[in-house]
Amino acid sequence: MSFAGMLNRLHGQPESYEKKSKYKFGRTLGAGTYGVVREAEGPTGKVAVKIILKKNVKGNEQMVYDELSMLQRLKHPHIVKFVDWFESRDKFYIVTQLATGGELFDRICDRGKFTEKDASQTIKQVLNAVDYLHKNDVVHRDLKPENLIYVTPDDDSDLVLADFGIAKTLDSKDETLKTMAGSFGYAAPEVMAKQGHGKPVDMWSMGVITYTLLCGYSPFRSENLQDLLEECTRGSVIFHERYWKDVSSDAKDFINCLLVPEPNKRWTSEQALGHIWLSGENATDHNLLPEIEAFRRRSRLRRAIEIVKLQNRINKLKEHEDDPENSEMGDAQGGEEKKDGARLHALGLFALKDVKQKQETLQMEEEMGKEAKRRSFTEN
């Protein structure tokens, strides 16, 4: 044992705490109920470090060990890589690969052109990762565009699936998970209805992501849980002619195979990987970029709001630390990011106006369609 290690043990620190000296912590990337995620410089370069307060998981420490076990055995080119872990008297530290290439929708907008064919190959990458998880009896439970990140800014960078905070390893193929988990708008009906869920929830989320990627808005527009559940269980997905006329029928069929309310009838990851749309054969060269840029503007409003929420969560976590004066929780934003706040807010307001106009147009088209059907019925 090194001299530093002996000192740490004298201060009641676990043996692995010695590893902490190898990392220089930077900005805070995110925060949740149990801790924060911070950027850090380590022996292998820049990494992401998840810092979990032991006080916040007291009695549920197994949850942390389960996540560690899962991350260590997951090895796939499209899944964020595990690097290391260590602990102190009051915290767990989980070190993973830091993906710096940007989120899926941001990266697409920087390309200048993004076609349906490009979308099919992007979804294929993500689906390969989901299929790997499911073959290893892991359910991610929080698939959404924000968790799809490029490893580097390079043009040929891999897209990786990140954030395994609420992922679960099933003890058996028939096990059902009971807790509410996921993100509003991407969670499957059985999660919202608290009916018990498993691998099919990830396939529902893949359907929502694919739909959004191809038209720039969600297939479901309800703003509260009960309305959203009713909308999701109607059993039919609407493809508005105005925004879907240049998208192939294969793409629509692929989405329809995933957005199935009954989990036992929803396609599995293996079935979905065999769908013709992922071959790109019949996918069109229609440029999806204008619609995706509109989605990104709406996302920026959410991010501006999230920065405020993030700082509030960090402040609460600091209160639970043993030594708040020397907090390791960091802050939500630095000086440069603060300057960006007004610009983000302005972009967000513009995005709100944009989405409201689109929703009003879609609603008008739906009402006109219903009226036309009524007239046809009356005339006949």
Tokens representing residue 78 in the block:
């499209």
142: annotated active-site residue: yes
Using the structure block, give the residue that is written with the tokens 């849980």: 225
CA distances from 250 to 130, 137, 239, 256, 260 (A): 21, 29, 13, 10, 16
In 78-199, alpha helices (H): 104-109, 116-135, 189-192
User: In whole angstroms, what is the distance from residue 117 CA to residue 133 CA?
Assistant: 25
Which string of DSSP letters, residue by residue, matches 251-265? HHHHHHHH--SSTTT
Residues 6+ away with beta carbon under 8 Å from 12: 89
The residue count for the chain: 380
Going by the DSSP 8-state scheme, the letter that residue 195 receives in this structure is S
CA distance 287 to 277: 17
Q: Are 228 and 192 in contact (CB under 8 A)?
A: yes
- Comparing CA positions, the residue from 220, 214, 207, 189 lying closest to residue 269 is 207
Cβ atoms 77, 31 nearer than 8 A: no
| Dihedrals phi, psi of 343, to nearest 5 degrees | -65, -40
Give the span between the Cα atoms of 75 and 138, in whole angstroms: 13
Q: Which of 142, 163, 202, 250 is catalytic?
A: 142
Residue 50 among known ligand-binding residues: no
Binding-site annotation, residues for ATP: 54
Q: Which residues are catalytic?
A: 142
